[in-house]
Amino acid sequence: MNVNSIVVLKLVLLICWPWLVYSKGEQGRLLVNMTLVRNASALGAYCLDGSLPAYHLHRGFGAGANNWLLQFEGGGWCNDIKSCLDRSKTHRGSTRYMNKLEVFAGILSNNASFNPDFYNWNRVKIRYCDGASFAGDAKFFNGTSLLYFKGQRIWQAILLDLLPKGLGHAKKALLSGCSAGGLATFLHCDNFTSYLPKNASVKCLSDAGFFLDERDIALNHTMRSFYEDLVSLQGVEPNLNQNCTSTLYYPHLCFFPQYVLPYINTPFFILNSAYDVYQFHHILVPPSSDPRRHWDHCRFNVTACNAYQLNILQGFRKNMLAALRVFYQDSRRDGMYINSCFTHCQSETQDTWFAVDSPRIHNKTIAQTVGDWYYSRNVSKEIDCAYPCDTTCHNMI
């Protein structure tokens, strides 16, 4: 190859490489650029560290050009100044540290073979940088450190940025989220509906967001205490469902999905594992409940659990199904997929969302069940048998 040929090749790569990375990415993945919300400061909408919030938008096409799917990113929470300060110095609390390109897979894929019902919709991933499931509205300053707890305003700022880009004329819309983002879906579902046209078909999907108000193995309300501190620190209570908070003696409990669910008016789908790994490790068996680490082997390898430990896990599943009983029995507009995999978040990962070897209940994948529910094609309430009966799981532990 002569010098001129090498120069031409370099020019071609220089011009084409950004497009190739954006459109397909490594191993054929779809990578989507970040969009900063430039007008967010007018609403006082900042990440923990004061940076601007952001999202990733991949445009729909064809029959899906007027349909919108918004996905809340997950990533836990912070409930005290130290943990929030630490978080503000990472991609969980600042867009300054986030990857500017994000992988869109599973429910966010633009490939009909991987995502048959939503592949051609406008798909948005909302980046998570506040630490309270997009529900706080407060500020902390001690003369040295400044923290913005502005998740509620971030949510509003992103909606206002998307409305003139086509969301305001949506014909179909789905608000979804994973983990802490799945919890955000419970908190913001009806509010999302209020921004969209009256004749739009609007529904909500929570993936691994049904966090239980459950005692741990030491009989302590570890998660309840954690959420109480979070709600107080980040000024969340005024943004919780008012019908829920006016009913419960402890309003902060309305941060738990099981208490707010009866008051959600928008059609809702709950995707969750009955043995959710995050809840297993942080609600049922948090480190504080097991100082002698008797559960270590079981926590990281379910086949190592003894009979007593398995009985505790089956009790957790039983309590989750009890909390969902009314939702399962009485509502015809809603859907659910409760499988028995030891995992956490299944809609954003292609292997678990829709693939040849995806998890199945009654031979139905998650994607098929969600699609049947959204388009009202079929009854869409699936509950798996108890562990260890399911042989289709993609277990994380």
Amino acid in position 143: G
**pLDDT tens, residue by residue, 112-138:** 999 999 999 999 999 999 999 999 999
Per-residue pLDDT at 167: 98
CB burial string 115-146: b at 16+ within 10 A, e below: bebbbbbbbbbbbbbbbbbbbbbbebeeeeee
Question: Could you tell me the pTM of the whole model?
Answer: 0.91
Helix ranges (DSSP H) in 58-115: 81-88
- Cα distance between residue 25 and residue 103, in whole Å: 9
- Cα distance between residue 43 and residue 15, in whole Å: 38
Average pLDDT over residues 25-53: 91
pLDDT at 100 over 50: yes
- Cα distance between residue 77 and residue 86, in whole Å: 11
Residues making up the chain, counted from first to last = 397
- Cα distance between residue 235 and residue 258, in whole Å: 21
Return the minimum-mean-pLDDT range out of 24-38, 171-185, 252-266: 24-38
Q: How large a percentage of the chain has pLDDT more than 90?
A: 89
Q: How many CB atoms lie within 10 A of CB 20?
A: 11
Bigger pLDDT: 15 vs 227: 227
Average pLDDT over residues 342-351: 96
Q: What are phi and psi of 66, to 5 degrees?
A: -110, 15
Over its C-alpha atoms, the chain yields an Rg (Å, rounded) of 22
pLDDT at 5 over 80: no
Helix ranges (DSSP H) in the chain: 3-23, 81-88, 151-162, 180-195, 222-233, 242-245, 257-260, 277-279, 296-300, 307-323, 325-330, 350-353, 366-374
Q: Which residues contact 232 (CB under 8 A, 6 or more apart)?
A: 252
**Sorting pLDDT into bands at 50, 70 and 90, what band is 26?**
very low
Residue 197, preceding bond cis, omega within 30 degrees? no
Q: How large a percentage of the chain has pLDDT more than 70?
A: 93
Per-residue pLDDT at 24: 38
**Sorting pLDDT into bands at 50, 70 and 90, what band is 213?**
very high
What's the token pair of residue 277? Answer: 């790994």
Per-residue pLDDT at 28: 67
Per-residue pLDDT at 29: 87
- Cα distance between residue 209 and residue 186, in whole Å: 8
What's the token pair of residue 50? Answer: 């004061």
Q: What are phi and psi of 238, to 5 degrees?
A: -60, -20
- Cα distance between residue 355 and residue 41, in whole Å: 42
- Cα distance between residue 319 and residue 214, in whole Å: 8
What's the token pair of residue 305? Answer: 């659990």
Contact 316, 279 (CB under 8 A): yes
Element (H, E) at 31: strand 30-36
- Cα distance between residue 165 and residue 163, in whole Å: 5
Active site (catalytic) residues: 179, 276, 344
Query: Could you confirm whether domain 3-383 is CATH 3.30.200.210?
Result: no
Ranges of each domain in the chain: 3-383
Q: How many CB atoms lie within 10 A of CB 360?
A: 18
Give, rounded to a whole angstrom, the gap between the first and last alpha carbons of the chain. Answer: 52
Return the minimum-mean-pLDDT range out of 156-170, 327-341, 348-362: 327-341
10 Å CB burial of residue 1 (0-12, 13-18, 19+) is: exposed
- Cα distance between residue 98 and residue 39, in whole Å: 19
- Report the chain's mean pLDDT, rounded to a whole number: 93
**Sorting pLDDT into bands at 50, 70 and 90, what band is 6?**
very low
Per-residue pLDDT at 330: 72
Q: How many CB atoms lie within 10 A of CB 7?
A: 10
- Cα distance between residue 312 and residue 168, in whole Å: 47
Q: Angle 151-162/180-195 helices, nearest 10 degrees?
A: 50
